[in-house]
């Protein structure tokens, strides 16, 4: 493999003749997923109905596309979404036999590197057409990771001048410009037109300026310090020293500040990671501090947070370029490293717990946001069946499976792993917030004294719920007011469930019943049916959906009077119409509840 590849590659199969090559590429390319037509069975990670629409959605979502198809298909599919070449993801066309690989869009956002890597695998030709790559051996608009261009609009003019053979000088103030010297360019001496590599603010004179990631900003602050105060302090510190924000590689602090919003806000504003060190690591920097703070030591166990963290990030050969500066509730210092800082390998990140609803399990019913959260996770925690349903989507990740009934243990494990600084996905079927694990996450955070959990960033990602899946298969029964009731009395008293059923029946809601019948609860469904029959006609349509979105899916429509004798189990969702719900005969029959468009209230 050569070059820096995109980390999320959609390998799209358009014709089945390319399926074998696509499977090979999925196995070989890190972060690759396989997308195929729903009309043809295959080991697809995601499937689609119309190729052009699917490719357009992938492109609009910022995902790199490797299409096993003609270039024209990809071009026509993404054309409506073209905007800026610095923002568009890589799009690469591959001949079905792998003989030719063509980077179409995003050459300097990974497409050229991806094309070369695929050509290495297939023995084909990478048809790279980017002039800078071909003739100069260097791509000015694709600097190494972490580098910033002060004014990207100047790149085109400078690259064109180099291609014309005009003299341009290279002024390296940092000693980090090796990648620019590695090409075939013969740099001139002291020309008016120049490229400058610096961590300083851009000089006058129209130079093309590159900023290497060699600065670390150390931040200390009181709990709850306002984000604006920290940002204002950091900006003033950089301005005072005439340092460029584009040269900042990382924002760093002590681990006690893992959950401090102001630090993460500053990192987000600078578009760099936030990383954190244990107090013991900062304590080791004591000899290099310009001053020692007793207050900092009493609060954190180290004599200086801002300076100590900046120096730890810059490494033993780094040095302070701005000593500690103070505002009312924050401190800031800046250190410079002699070489670019690898922010990912610096300190530790804040742990992240993504609570992900995976829908019924079929990749086509998984939201792109949920898929992205799974892709970013290092560890995936869940009920074993749900992890199996995810298949290739979690290949190569650490799986933590547990049996049904171990929900609290799963959540505790997920929080513990995230508290170690890992990106963790905790999966639920359907939607994680609807009879899923999201409420349990927050309940444990609320009730258990585990301070390390509160340093974790928790986000919930929606999924297609069982009632949504059932409603789509049935027709449109949820067109008006509806509610959901679980008939399981494991965590809710039956008297409470009965009261809710009575209220739903009296209110004429469409009712979705979860967990309708188990081996232990044979008669609860019959009692629920009796309650509803007292308030709506016996011919009220009822939809039974079992294992929706899975291979063994089953669906049928009955009347409310037949519900008590129906063959249902814990894998079935029951949708019971209101008095207004209608049935359209057909194969299959369709159920809908009118919204009232033709009978508007006056």
In angstroms, how far is CA 435 from the centroid of its own chain? Answer: 23
Return the percent helix, strand and coil in the chain, to nearest 5: 35, 25, 40
CATH number for the domain that contains residue 556: 3.30.950.10
CA distances 139 to 3, 108, 158, 181, 184, Å, are 12, 7, 11, 12, 11
Rounded Cα gap, residues 334 and 148, in angstroms: 18
Do residue 481 and residue 447 come from a single domain?
no
**C-alpha atoms less than 13 angstroms from C-alpha of 119 in its C-beta half-sphere:** 19
Q: Please report the pLDDT score of residue 204 as a whole number.
A: 58
**C-alpha atoms less than 13 angstroms from C-alpha of 97 in its C-beta half-sphere:** 1
Do residue 378 and residue 324 come from a single domain?
no
Question: Where do the DSSP E strands lie in 278-409?
Answer: 319-326, 330-336, 352-357, 379-383, 398-402
Rounded Cα gap, residues 206 and 439, in angstroms: 56
In angstroms, how far is CA 441 from the centroid of its own chain? Answer: 19
Do residue 238 and residue 250 come from a single domain?
yes
Rounded Cα gap, residues 274 and 595, in angstroms: 49
Q: Please report the pLDDT score of residue 2 as a whole number.
A: 40
Strand 457-461's sheet: what is its strand order? 398-402, 379-383, 423-428, 352-357, 457-461
Do residue 433 and residue 367 come from a single domain?
yes
Do residue 272 and residue 301 come from a single domain?
yes
For residue 352 the two structure tokens come to 């992240």
Domain boundary among 158, 183, 211: 211
For residue 210 the two structure tokens come to 């590159």
Do residue 223 and residue 198 come from a single domain?
no
Where residue 517 falls (left for φ over 0; alpha for ψ -120 to 50; beta otherwise) is: beta
Rounded Cα gap, residues 93 and 127, in angstroms: 10
Domain boundary among 292, 319, 345: 345
How many domains does the chain divide into?
5
Q: Please report the pLDDT score of residue 573 as a whole number.
A: 93
Count of Cβ atoms closer than 10 Å to residue 393 Cβ: 21
Rounded Cα gap, residues 442 and 15, in angstroms: 46
Do residue 477 and residue 565 come from a single domain?
yes
Do residue 245 and residue 283 come from a single domain?
yes
**C-alpha atoms less than 13 angstroms from C-alpha of 37 in its C-beta half-sphere:** 14
Do residue 321 and residue 381 come from a single domain?
no
601 domain residue, yes or no? no
pLDDT digits (tens, 9 = 90+) for 481-539: 999 999 998 889 999 999 999 999 999 999 999 999 887 777 899 999 999 999 999 99
- b (16+ CB within 10 A) / e for 21-50: bbbebbeebeebbbbbbeeeeeebbbbbee
Q: Please report the pLDDT score of residue 130 as a whole number.
A: 60
pLDDT digits (tens, 9 = 90+) for 105-156: 886 678 888 988 999 999 988 887 665 554 566 777 778 889 999 887 788 8
| Residue 21 · residue 11 · CB < 8 Å | no
2 domain residue, yes or no? no
Q: Please report the pLDDT score of residue 600 as a whole number.
A: 65
pLDDT digits (tens, 9 = 90+) for 194-231: 899 999 987 656 789 999 999 999 999 999 999 999 99
238 domain residue, yes or no? yes
Q: Please report the pLDDT score of residue 136 as a whole number.
A: 60
373 domain residue, yes or no? yes
Which H or E run includes 370? helix 368-376
598 domain residue, yes or no? no
Q: Please report the pLDDT score of residue 382 as a whole number.
A: 96
Domain range enclosing 476:
467-592
Do residue 153 and residue 75 come from a single domain?
no
Do residue 483 and residue 540 come from a single domain?
yes
Residue stretches of the chain with pLDDT short of 70: 1-4, 84-87, 107-108, 129-137, 203-205, 600-602
142 domain residue, yes or no? no
Do residue 102 and residue 164 come from a single domain?
no
């Amino acid at each position: 493999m050569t070059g820096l590849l995109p980390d999320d590659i959609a390998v799209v199969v358009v014709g089945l003749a390319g399926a074998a090559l696509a499977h090979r590429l999925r196995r070989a390319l890190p972060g690759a997923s396989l997308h195929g037509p729903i009309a043809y069975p295959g080991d697809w990670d995601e499937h689609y109905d119309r190729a052009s629409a699917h490719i357009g959605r992938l492109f609009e979502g910022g995902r790199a596309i490797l299409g096993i198809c003609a270039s024209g298909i990809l071009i026509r599919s993404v054309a409506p979404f073209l905007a800026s070449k610095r923002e568009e993801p890589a799009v690469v066309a591959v001949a079905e036999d792998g003989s030719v690989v063509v980077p179409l869009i995003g050459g300097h956002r990974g497409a050229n590197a991806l094309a070369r890597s695929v050509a290495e695998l297939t023995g084909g030709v990478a048809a790279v057409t980017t002039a800078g790559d071909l003739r100069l051996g260097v791509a000015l608009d694709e600097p190494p990771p972490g580098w910033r261009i002060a004014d990207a609009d100047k790149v085109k003019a400078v690259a064109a001048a180099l291609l014309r053979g005009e003299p341009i000088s290279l002024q390296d103030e940092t000693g980090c410009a090796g990648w620019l010297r590695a090409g075939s360019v013969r740099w001139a001496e002291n020309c008016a037109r120049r490229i400058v590599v610096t961590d300083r603010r851009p000089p006058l004179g129209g130079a093309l300026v590159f900023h290497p990631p060699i600065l670390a900003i150390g931040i200390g602050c009181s709990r709850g310090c306002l984000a604006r105060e920290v940002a204002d302090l950091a900006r003033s510190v950089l301005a005072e020293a005439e340092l460029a924000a584009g040269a900042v590689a990382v924002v760093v602090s002590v681990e006690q500040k893992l959950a401090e919003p102001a630090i993460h806000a500053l990192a987000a504003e600078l578009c760099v990671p936030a990383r954190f060190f244990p107090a013991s690591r900062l304590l080791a920097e004591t000899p290099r501090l310009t001053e020692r703070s007793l207050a900092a030591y009493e609060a954190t166990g180290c004599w200086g947070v801002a300076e100590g963290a900046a120096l730890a990030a810059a490494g033993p050969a780094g040095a302070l370029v701005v000593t500690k500066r103070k505002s009312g509730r924050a401190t800031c210092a800046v250190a410079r490293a002699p070489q670019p800082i690898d922010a990912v390998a610096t300190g530790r990140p804040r742990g992240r717990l993504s609570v992900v609803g995976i829908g019924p399990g079929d990749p086509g019913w998984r939201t792109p946001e949920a898929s992205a959260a799974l892709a970013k996770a290092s560890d995936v925690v869940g009920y074993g069946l749900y992890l199996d349903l995810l298949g290739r989507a979690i290949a190569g990740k650490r799986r933590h499976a547990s049996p049904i009934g171990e929900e609290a243990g799963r959540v505790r494990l997920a929080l513990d792993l995230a508290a170690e600084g890992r990106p963790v996905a905790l999966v639920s079927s359907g939607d994680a917030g609807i009879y899923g694990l999201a409420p349990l996450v927050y309940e444990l955070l609320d009730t258990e004294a585990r301070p390390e959990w509160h340093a974790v960033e928790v986000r919930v990602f929606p999924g297609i719920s069982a009632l949504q899946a059932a409603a789509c298969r049935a027709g449109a029964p949820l067109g008006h007011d509806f509610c959901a009731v679980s008939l399981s009395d494991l965590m809710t008293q039956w008297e409470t469930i009965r009261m809710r059923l009575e209220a739903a029946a009296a209110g004429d809601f469409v009712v979705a019943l979860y967990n309708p019948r188990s081996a232990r609860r044979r008669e609860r469904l019959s009692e629920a049916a009796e309650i509803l029959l007292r308030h709506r006609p016996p011919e009220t349509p009822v939809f039974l959906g079992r294992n929706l979105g899975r291979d063994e899916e089953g669906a049928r429509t009955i009347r409310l009077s037949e519900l008590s004798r129906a063959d249902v189990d814990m894998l079935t969702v029951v949708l019971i119409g209101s008095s207004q719900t209608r049935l359209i005969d057909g194969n299959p029959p369709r159920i809908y509840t009118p919204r009232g468009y033709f009978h508007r209230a006056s």
